[in-house]
């Protein structure tokens, strides 16, 4: 049985994944930001970040502040996506 990860740890890991996407080097050869492999890697990191926090709001006993943090994570993902891919 997999180990359960507390919600606060999930938020930290999601932010780390977003930072990894930001730190991913843009390919200097070929298509640059339009390289399909680069785009796939960035989107995969964003997907992992979303998966990390997506069930927190539905969990019983989660505070309103924690739900707000999840919303902030989604906003950070959208902002990072615009910054990195467009």
> Domain of 80?
38-86
Residue 32, in any domain of the structure: no
Structure tokens at 14: 């999601």
* Buried-state track 34-70, b at ≥16 Cβ within 10 A, e below 16: eeeebeeebeebbebbbebbeebeeeeeeeeebeebb
Structural domain count of the chain: 1
Whole-number CA gyration radius for the chain = 15
Residue 47, in any domain of the structure: yes
Q: Each residue of 35-84: pLDDT tens digit?
A: 899 999 999 999 999 999 999 999 888 899 999 999 999 999 999 999 99
Residue 83, in any domain of the structure: yes
Q: Each residue of 13-41: pLDDT tens digit?
A: 999 999 999 999 988 877 778 889 999 99
Q: What is the pLDDT of residue 29?
A: 78
Residue 64, in any domain of the structure: yes
Residue 67, in any domain of the structure: yes
Model confidence, pTM: 0.89
* Phi, psi (degrees; rounded to nearest 5) at 55: -95, 0
Residue 8, in any domain of the structure: no
């Amino acid at each position: 049985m997999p180990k359960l990860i507390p919600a606060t740890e999930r938020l930290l890991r999601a932010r780390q994944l977003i930072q990894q996407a930001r730190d991913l080097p843009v390919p200097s050869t070929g298509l640059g930001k339009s390289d399909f492999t680069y785009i796939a890697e960035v989107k995969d990191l964003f997907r992992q970040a979303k998966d990390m926090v997506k069930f927190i709001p539905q969990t019983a006993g989660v505070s309103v502040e924690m739900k707000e943090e999840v919303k902030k994570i989604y906003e950070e993902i959208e902002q990072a996506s615009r910054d990195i891919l467009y």
